[in-house]
Chains A and B, each alone.
Chain A
Amino acid sequence: MEIKVNFISQEKLNGFSTDEKLEFILKEVEKGQILVLERGLKAEEQTKLIEMTMNDVNEKFTGIEMESYIEEKPTFLQKLLGKNSARMTIVGPAGTLKTIYKDKDVIQAVIVGKKK
């Protein structure tokens, strides 16, 4: 079975408000898509995404698998410029994307396809 992985550029997500961005991500994931976000979600956005996911969890959609790296504390200059310090984020449906190993700098995940 083919599984699509969408690599989403920073530019695409920059055009969205936070709510629009998270709604877009959740809608795609609920359709079964796996997304790799070039510029990752900030911790507050991840929390909001978990909240939105929990609202949508049911017997068929059991939630999301999300992986990102530990966010470095923003420097004074980054704070001043309002710069997003988040690194890449991978997000997909819990039943499809499974993390098998993770450390500070490595994320190993497998994509589980259903047999036809």
Chain B
Amino acid sequence: MGLFGKLSGWLSSIFGKKHVRIGIYGPPNAGKTTLANRIAMDWAGEIVGEVSEIPHETRKVQKKDRVVIRDGKASLTLDLIDTPGIATKIDYHDFLEFGIDEEDAKQRAKEATEGVIEAIKWLDNVDGVILLMDSTKNPFTQVNITIFGNLEARELPFIIAANKIDMNGSPATLQSAFPQHEVVPISALEGINMDLFYEAILKTFGKKGR
């Protein structure tokens, strides 16, 4: 690390971080791009990517740099990384149910596998993570458990956001699955509880001493 890097790390540890790269991680269809769009729209007036009900719509990492979040005097600049959904299996037949023709479904499956690999590699390049889970589903999925375990092992700061509370989701179930972490119940689509969520971002990622 150069002199500037050391100085910057030292200043961050005293005054807290001001600029961080944050990855949004989770299983397919948890609403990662919807959340990225919500954050980017709220603070920068632009969206990050297209959303769809078809799983693996995001098959490449999408970025939105320099999104500045403010709360009173506190502010934090985020480089947002919207990652493809992580999965342990990808079957092109699943895409046929959405009316996609076979050729395109196969291509989509291939791109989705590449997207999973890219998302995992990006874990080495983020300062913190928003782990987005679907509160309408069982929280104990292997993808949730694996990402959670990785974040703990890497000692990366992270927020668990329980999305889709507008669809009768159960953030309480999710909270009981991960009792040692704060879970922020949100609806990225409807913009519910986003104030709480931005507070958690400032508190978790702008923290001193990281």
Contact = CB atoms under 8 A, between A and B. Distances in A.
A103 interface: yes
Nearest to A94: B89
Interface stretch (B15-23, B109-117, B157-165): B109-117
Interface residues of A, number: 28
A114 interface: no
Contacts, number: 88
Contact of A65 (B89, B140, B149): B89
Interface stretch (A15-23, A31-39, A66-74): A66-74
A73 B177 CA distance: 14
B91 A94 contact: yes
Contact of A43 (B87, B106, B140, B153): B153
Q: Counting chain A CB atoms within 10 Å of each CB, which of B113, B138, B142, B178 scores highest? A: B142
Interface in B131-171: 138, 140-142, 145-146, 148-150, 152-153
Interface of B: 86-92, 106, 109, 113-114, 116-117, 120-121, 123, 138, 140-142, 145-146, 148-150, 152-153, 177-178, 180
Interface of A: 42-44, 46-47, 50-51, 53-55, 57, 59, 62-71, 73, 94, 99, 102-104
Given A50-B87, A66-B88, 16 more contacts: A43-B149, A44-B149, A50-B86, A50-B120, A50-B146, A51-B116, A55-B113, A57-B90, A62-B91, A63-B87, A63-B91, A65-B89, A66-B146, A70-B177, A71-B149, A71-B152
